[in-house]
A and B are shown apart, each in its own frame.
Chain A
Amino acid sequence: MTSLSQPWPGATKLGLVIDLDTCVGCHACAVSCKEWNHGGASGPLPDYDSRGPNPDGLWFNRIHSYETEGGACGSRTVNFPRSCLHCEQPQCVTVCPTGASYKRAEDGIVLVNADICIGCKLCSWACPYGAREFDEDEGVMKKCTLCVDRIYNETLPEAEREPACVAACPSRARHFGDLGDPDSAVSLLVLARGGVELMPELGYKPTNRYLPPRKAVVPTGPVEKPVRMGTGFSASLLSLVDRVLSR
């Protein structure tokens, strides 16, 4: 079993804020993630049966679409990207028999040390969010690293030091930042939009937040049926075009 270092108040908690109001379910984040990590520190992310009858492979981020009923927005389709939530109390870490799974004290990112991972898959059983992916070629568990090899990468321009999924997202529905800092842009966004954590009842205290769908309205009544004149045109139309026009 692996113990967690205790986070202290105000500790950095890097994570993602995902806006379900604008996620169109396009899979851009998922493929960008696969591309970055395939050639990055976690790579390769293997594909199995890539031209065959059962194409499959490793993805740190997968997209689901659901139809929902009820709620403030009524019946709607919700697109839901799913990846590691970098929990504050990650059971995937505490169940790890070798210490391969660990949570970084400095920023809260949950990682796997492949050198000592024995591929027992206990962590994937422990994770209720389905965030872990087993690499059958290497026999080790892999997962979202929050692009730890991008966000601190000094060879990248400052503006590019963000997770690949955030950089790629075409509707800019993904935000990255420190959710431990109540004044950070992501924390303020969560506050303003009523961001939620997934399955809080399980007690794993996910860091990532999801912003719920909204419904904009234009407050107005229907256009009123005006009194008809003998010409067939409405009075309001006649009065409008009878106005002095100038061109």
Chain B
Amino acid sequence: MAKNINISQPVGDEVAYTTCYMCACRCGIKVHLKDGKLRYIEGNRDHPVNRGVLCAKGSAGIMTATSPSRLRKPLKRSGERGTGTFVEIEWDEAMAIVTDRLAKIRAEDPNRLAFFTGRDQSQALTGYFAQMFGTMNYAAHGGFCSVNMAAAGLYSIGGAFWEFGEPDWEHAKLFLMFGVAEDHDSNPIKLGLGVLKGRGAKFISVNPVRTGYSAIADEHVAITPGTDGLLVMALIHCLLEAGKIDAEFLVRYTNAHHLVIDAPGSADHGLIARNSDGAGLAYDREAQGLTPADAKGINPALLGSFVLPDGRKAQPAFALVAQRYTDPAYAPEAVADLCGLDAKDIRRIAGEIAEVAFNQPVILNQPWTDSAGVRHETMIGRPVAMHAMRGVSAHSNGFHTCRAIHVLQMLIGAVDTPGSWRYKSPYPKPIPPGPAPGGHQRQANGALDFPPLGFPRSPQDLLVGNDGEALRLDRAFSWEAPLGLHGMMHMAIGEAYAAGRERVDTLFLFMANMAWNSAMNPAESSRMLTARDPDGNYRIPFVIVADAFASETVAYADLVLPDATYLERYDCISLLDRPIGSAHGPADAIRVPVIKPDRDVRAFQGVLLDLAGRLKLPNFVDADGKPLYKSYPDYMINHQRKPGVGPLAGFRGRDGKAFGKGESNPDQISSYVENHAFWRHHLPADQLYFKHGNRAYLEGAKAMGLIDSSEQIVLNLYSEIIQRFRLAAEGHGPHQPPERLRAATKRFMDPLPIWYQPVEEAENDATAFPLHALTQRPMPMYHSWGSQNQWLRQILPENRLYLHTSLAKRHGLGNEDWVHLTSRNGTITCQVRLMDGLAPDTVWTWNAIGKRSGTWALAKDAPESQRGFLLNHIISEYLPPDNAGHRRSNSDPVTGQAAWFDVMVRIEPCRAPTRTSQPQFPVLPPPHASATKARP
């Protein structure tokens, strides 16, 4: 800086607004350009997600947009698969290869296309493509990420944690966070924590590791991994013992008073007793008789046993809750050792919840009317907010743990009330929110009758054959994962390999590093991708990879379709998909090209539309077989999923003034651009809380097309849907689990939350593998696209394994010492660092720092490959085989969620001098360096 610098220099000569894609948070950004080049990216101050702030990844976006690791041109494999040798080809040839291959598959058996997308934010389009193509073998990465939270939430309260709900940061007085580290929703959580702590509210973080958010918690609860459910049930135990529950909330908004049939052995045991109209029944203590549970003015019983008209008995659902959790087995003193906590602390936290919920309610002077038509002069809230993410989700008991948290929220009346956790629009939705998964039937045009990812309500919705075994490649929606709502991407390669050519022809991967950090057991995944049948052909016949970067997985492709980076393309962050709404109302956003690609790449969504047109897929072509959409922005404007409902909800109608529902508007994208790339609708003040039972909100949401019915969404304290699966396991009905899974189904499909030791841990030899091993994302990075960024990699170019000082002492280890870390699946070698803020029998490391040498345009001797490492190598997607040789997936038995955090390990100091992490793999050449131009 010279002395006489111009301190009023314009930032650039051009400003554009778009949406960030350096992670899944989807913040609004203001991009400054100078001479057509990126100068500065800052947060958009008006944007509902980030309100002007921007994280480290977002600011480093300008280095990702110019990264040398970007792919440059379509590639066709020229050598052995896995060696990374390619020829560059033209797009025409690439599209012809894909079209020919997929057309043939579609004509023969569409399910032989397995289409798996990674951290894709256009699943509304990719899923629709799969449905119209006619393959059930479609999934996005939610199955190894968040499905436990989605399924537990959607089947309990019609909404979910993750980025689909948020604490009432402005009013909460006590905030409990379970297993939340940096993840989706990163900036909103940081903004919220700043507000919450600024107000002096208490923040309790339940997390084995004290970093990031946990570092600023007022109380850090260093729980033993996988025991959060027990802690929550102990809190429920204490609150029930003390009578600290919100009975009014329960009878108004949940099925707590619904009578559950008590007739063990019968086909409807455990289902809700209903009248001839199908309405659930309750017992009215006023009239001393049965009544529809939704009747106005009743005084429903929550405890007791009542006689049904057919003479059988039934109990209110709440009575079952009370019976289960008042059991001494859930007393803090009974669970404390397993949780690694002090029973006194559990009782104190229960006391704090009770104090804040019932002695310090938040009362807003805001009249509103509930679904029953009762007008309330105020909104009374229980200011205890909860939030949970990966630390709960990534265990095989995560579904029930998450449901336990929702049950706790319901019991204290803390679902969408002032000060509690709140739905983000477009939630809440009916329970469950959509049709059953498609796959059983195809229409005459070859499309599946429903989207491949759906919502089972009973065993007949499962995608299983006559033998009860999975129809889908990844086993989702089978008896191994009845509520596998997001599919089971972690099984895709293993099962494609096992199934062989008869079942899978083409594995089509978009934006998923499935041969590396998105794989459990990458070495095995790589082996399976290159394995050959005895006839010499690849066992997985064809692999297409669409990605913007030269990841580890690119080397395993037969064909590479290079994607544009986020600043080079259109996108829509849609209400049909994973929108950016908040508790204040619905919102969506777009990406617009800010810079032009300097390479021969195409944005994937446009490629997919082009492909759909070439394949003449239904609803992508007109009656004459001509493509309906000439580009992705054309689709964003003109596609309608339902009449009036398209990818973008704002600026609809001919005049651009409609929102939610409305005719297509040819100027819609221009309106978004003028509005700085997003649209939002502010809900009126009387619709901001109690959305599940708020008449004005539900009617408004229906009018906007967010939900199909304005009926009250009755929260499922008790899950009748889950009980239907248990009944099948008990021998009822035509759809029953195979014998090998009968006992497990009965055990895990419990209509009330249960706790069990994580499956892998329960089968583990605790003397051989006594330690838990976890990963977490570093705040400045996300996935491998982030950690290759030349600024971000200066912050964290290599990871370490963190140990508690007491554990290190037992093994005589100091900072930077090398260790072998061994699980049932193998051994890795890495360096350690010591810390105190950690559960003593837990080790952890940063996720996705380790790279394979030669990838991501990093030097062969980059620290990421030489000392960085992945924990993935010692995690398997399969559990050990049972007596008959079946290998269950290493997943939550309810949802199929990949159980990343169940792995158990042991640690041993390295005896020999060590300088590199293990395992190491052959160095991959840069894909374009080895690519020779194809001869014309």
What residues on B are CB-neighbors of A247 within 8 Å?
248, 251-252, 257, 296-298, 300, 372
Confirm or deny: B191 has a beta carbon within 8 angstroms of a beta carbon on chain A: yes
Residues B247 and A243 in contact, CB atoms below 8 Å apart: yes
> Which residue on chain B has the smallest CB distance to residue A232?
B326
Q: How far is the CB of A236 from chain B (nearest CB, A)?
A: 3
Report yes or no: A246 in contact with B297, Cβ–Cβ below 8 A. Answer: yes
**CB atoms of B215 and A77 under 8 A apart:** yes
A79 contacts which chain B residues (CB < 8 A)? 215-216
Interface string of B1-20 (1 = CB under 8 A from A): 11101111111000000000
Residue of A nearest to B220 (CB): A76
In the complex, A242→B354 CA distance in Å? 19
Which residues of A have CB within 8 Å of B821? none
Are B182's CB and A77's CB within 8 A?
no
Pairwise interchain contact A57-B53, C-beta atoms closer than 8 A: no
Taking a contact as CB atoms under 8 Å apart, the answer to whether B60 and A35 are in contact is yes
Of A8-16, A166-174, A179-187, A199-207, the one with at least 4 CB within 8 A of chain B: A166-174
List B residues 365-392 near A (Cβ within 8 Å). Answer: 372
Fill in one digit per residue for B354-365: 1 if any A CB lies within 8 Å of its CB, else 0. 111000000000
Q: Which of B414-428 contact A (CB under 8 A)?
A: none
**Residues from chain A with Cβ under 8 Å of B248 in the complex:** 245-247
Q: Cβ of A35 and Cβ of B797 under 8 Å apart?
A: no
Is B824 engaged at the interface, CB distance under 8 Å to the other chain? Answer: no
Given A24-B215, A234-B241: A221 and B59 within 8 A (CB)? no
Q: Is B212 an interface residue (CB 8 A)?
A: yes
Is A6 in contact with chain B by the CB < 8 A criterion?
no
Contact B56 A245 (CB under 8 A): no
Find B1's partner among A41, A55, A155 (CB 8 Å cutoff): A41
Shortest CB–CB separation between residue B794 and chain A, in angstroms? Answer: 5
- In the complex, identify which listed stretch (A84-92, A107-115, A126-134) lies at the interface while the others stay far away: A107-115
Tell me if A222 and B347 are in contact (CB < 8 A).
yes
A41 contacts B9, C-beta separation under 8 Å: yes
Quick check: is B190 within 8 A (CB to CB) of the other chain?
A: yes
B197 interface hit (Cβ, 8 Å): yes
Judge whether B21 is part of the interface by a CB distance below 8 angstroms: no
Other-chain contact of A222, B202, B301, B348, B790 (Cβ < 8 Å): B348
Assess A35 versus B40: contact at CB under 8 Å? Given A156-B11, A223-B351: yes
* Max chain B C-beta neighbours (<10 A), residue from A47, A102, A245: A245
- CA gap between A147 and B108 in the complex, in Å: 64
User: Is B244 positioned at the interface, with any CB of A under 8 Å from its CB?
Assistant: yes
Shortest Cβ distance from B241 into A: residue: A234
Q: Which B residue sits closest to A111, measured CB to CB?
A: B1
- Contact call B1/A142, Cβ cutoff below 8 A: yes
**In the assembled complex, A118 has its CB within 8 A of some CB on chain B:** no
Task: Find out whether the CB atom of B780 lies under 8 angstroms from the CB atom of A224.
Answer: no
Q: Which of B327-365 contact A (CB under 8 A)?
A: 344, 347-348, 350-352, 354-356
**With A67-B835, A223-B238 given, is the CB distance from A35 to B62 under 8 Å?**
yes
Chain B residues contacting A239 (CB-CB under 8 Å) are: 243
Interface size on A, residues (CB 8 A): 92
Q: Are A27 and B779 in contact (CB under 8 A)?
A: yes
* A170 and B60 form a contact (CB under 8 A): no
Q: Assess whether A31 is in contact with B60, with CB atoms less than 8 Å apart.
A: yes
Complex contact B202–A218 (CB within 8 A): yes
Task: Identify which of residues 244-260 in chain B touch chain A, using a CB-to-CB cut-off of 8 Å.
Answer: 244-245, 247-248, 251-252, 257
A24/B791 contact (C-beta < 8 A), A112-B1, A114-B1 known: no
**CB pair A47 B794 closer than 8 Å:** yes
B215 to chain A, nearest CB (A): 4
Distance, CA A25 to CA B356, complexed state (A): 29
Q: Tell me, in angstroms, the Cα distance from A239 to B303 when the chains sit together.
A: 11
Q: Using Cβ atoms and an 8 Å threshold, which residues of chain B touch A59?
A: 794
In Å, the complex CA distance between A237 and B325 comes to 12
Q: Are A75 and B7 in contact (CB under 8 A)?
A: no
Instruction: Evaluate whether A240 and B794 lie within 8 angstroms (CB atoms) in the complex, with A23-B216, A152-B8 already known.
Output: no
Task: Considering the complex, give the chain B residue whose CB is closest to the CB of A20.
Answer: B216
Chain A residue at minimal CB-CB distance from B34: A39
Residues on B with beta carbons closer than 8 Å to the beta carbon of A34: 59, 791
Which residues of chain A from 210 to 247 have any CB-CB distance to chain B below 8 Å in the complex? 213-226, 232-247
Q: A234–B866 Cα gap in the complex (Å)?
A: 60
Q: Which residues of A contact B354 (CB under 8 A)?
A: 220, 223
B41-49, B307-315, B578-586, B878-886: which lies at the interface: B41-49
Q: Is B812 at the interface (CB under 8 A from chain A)? A: no
B278 CB, min distance to chain A CBs, angstroms = 19
Instruction: Report if A30 contacts B (CB, 8 A).
Output: yes
Does A197 count as interface, using CB distance less than 8 angstroms?
A: no
Q: Mark interface residues in B760-773 (1 if CB within 8 Å of A CB, else 0).
A: 00000000000000
Q: A28-B56, A114-B2, A167-B42 are in contact. Are A149 and B243 (CB under 8 A)?
A: no
B243 contact from A26, A154, A219, A236, Cβ within 8 A: A236
Assess whether B203 is interfacial by the CB under 8 Å rule.
Answer: yes
Give CA–CA (A161, B20) in the complex, Å: 23
Inter-chain CA distance A217–B203, complex, in Å, is: 9
Judge whether B405 is part of the interface by a CB distance below 8 angstroms: no
Task: For A54, list chain B residues within 8 Å (CB).
Answer: 863
A42 at the interface (CB under 8 A from B): yes
Contact B322 A170 (CB under 8 A): no
Q: Is the CB of A241 within 8 A of B247?
A: yes
Chain B contacts for A220, CB-based, 8 A: 348, 351-352, 354-355
Q: Which residue of B182, B198, B285 contacts A22 across the interface (Cβ within 8 Å)?
A: B198
C-alpha gap A112/B296 in the complex (Å): 75
Stretch among B588-596, B854-862, B897-905 lining the A interface: B854-862
Q: Does B123 contact A (CB under 8 A)?
A: no
- Which of A52, A170, A233 has the most chain B CB atoms closer than 10 A to its own CB? A170
* Residues of A contacting B301 in the complex (Cβ-Cβ under 8 angstroms): 241
- Least CB separation from B211: chain A residue: A77
Interface string of B183-212 (1 = CB under 8 A from A): 000110011011101101111000000111
Which chain B residues border A243 with CB–CB below 8 Å? Answer: 247
Confirm or deny: A56 has a beta carbon within 8 angstroms of a beta carbon on chain B. yes
- Whether a CB of chain B sits under 8 angstroms from the CB of A2 is no
Interface centre among A42, A47, A113, A240 (most CB of B within 10 A): A240
Contact B56 A27 (CB under 8 A): yes
- Residue A5, interface by CB 8 Å: no
- Residues of chain A lying within 8 A (CB to CB) of residue B220: 76
In the complex, whether B242 has a CB less than 8 A from a CB of chain A is yes
Bound Cα distance from A148 to B3, whole angstroms: 12
In the complex, chain A residues whose CB is within 8 Å of the CB of B212:
24-26
B792 within 8 A of A: yes
Q: CB within 8 A of B356: which of A116, A156, A218, A236?
A: A218
Determine the chain B residues whose CB is within 8 A of the CB of A145 once the complex forms: 1
Whether A153 is near chain B, meaning CB under 8 Å from some CB there, is yes
Interface string of A43-55 (1 = CB under 8 A from B): 0000100111111
Question: What residues of A have a CB within 8 angstroms of the CB of B239 in the complex?
Answer: 223
B318 at the interface (CB under 8 A from A): yes
Distance in Å: Cβ of A99 to nearest Cβ of chain B: 9
**B890-913 interface bits toward A, Cβ cutoff 8 Å, 1 = contact, 0 = none:** 000000000000000000000000
Q: Contact check, B200 vs A216: say whether CB atoms are below 8 A apart.
A: yes
Residues in A with CB closer than 8 Å to B348 are 220-222
Cβ distance B171 to chain A, nearest Cβ, rounded Å: 15
The CB with the most chain B CB atoms within 10 A, among A26, A225, A233, is that of A26
12 contacts between A and B (CB under 8 A): A21-B216, A26-B212, A31-B792, A51-B859, A59-B794, A113-B1, A171-B191, A236-B243, A237-B242, A237-B245, A243-B247, A247-B300
Q: Which residues of B contact A (CB under 8 A)?
A: 1-3, 5-11, 34, 39-43, 45, 50, 52-60, 62, 68, 173-174, 182, 186-187, 190-191, 193-195, 197-198, 200-203, 210-216, 218, 220, 238-245, 247-248, 251-252, 257, 285-286, 296-303, 318, 322-323, 326, 344, 347-348, 350-352, 354-356, 372, 779-780, 790-795, 797, 835-837, 857-859, 861-863, 866
Interface pairs A-B: 4 shortest CB-CB: A236-B243, A170-B190, A77-B215, A222-B347
5 further A-B pairs in the complex, CB-CB below 8 A; given A113-B2, A115-B2, A246-B297: A22-B193, A22-B216, A28-B53, A213-B216, A217-B202
